[in-house]
Structure 1
Amino acid sequence: MGWGNDGHGQDVTKAAVRAARNAIEFNSIPSINKIVPGGYDAMKLDVILAVPPAYQEGLRLEEVEKVFPYGECHIKIQDGGMVAPSGIAIERLGDNGDDMVVVCCSVSVGY
């Protein structure tokens, strides 16, 4: 499980990539070659991204898939996450409003 946000720029892909990284950054399964027939190359990843509905259309899944170094990704998008006010919009940082976009991520490993 993980979460990520983009506090400026309202880039949902940046938030989703951060969520995916957060979901796996403290995990290691060194025994994949023993428990998954075919090892890392045969591993299947079921990824669920909870994304605010207003931002789902701008999500670039190919960028999220790059987070995972092994296996085949199956990504499902569901309504969720959060849009919260950052309290400031800074044009030079790409803001088009004061939305802070939050995405949650769940990753399951199997074969």
Structure 2
Amino acid sequence: MQTASTNICERLCNKSIREISLLLNIPRSTVSGIITKCKQLGTKATQPQSGRPRKMTELGQSMLKCTVRISHQLSAESKAKDLQTLCGLQISKRTIHRELHEMGFHG
């Protein structure tokens, strides 16, 4: 399947939505939707990010995993303090719990 920018380029070359649909072998409604979305958002073909960005970086996750493997009986609060001193990340104990569950650590 072609990208949205290809559809826009085809539209700019004075081709109809039907012709673009036949050329790219995708439904007319899809082509029309992409063109409409591009008109609304300007040159960006994607919508803005939804939701809040993650607080934990990949570095923070790997550091957390290492601290858990070294000393698995420490509390989440002490792990949060360790991450703050090691990486400079200020993360709550609830976030530590959530990240550990996503990594497969329980209990």
> Greater share of helix residues, 1 or 2?
2
Query: Under TM normalisation by the shorter chain, which class is it?
Result: under 0.3
Larger radius of gyration: 2
The alignment's TM-score, normalised by the length of structure 2, stands at: 0.25
> Greater share of strand residues, 1 or 2?
1
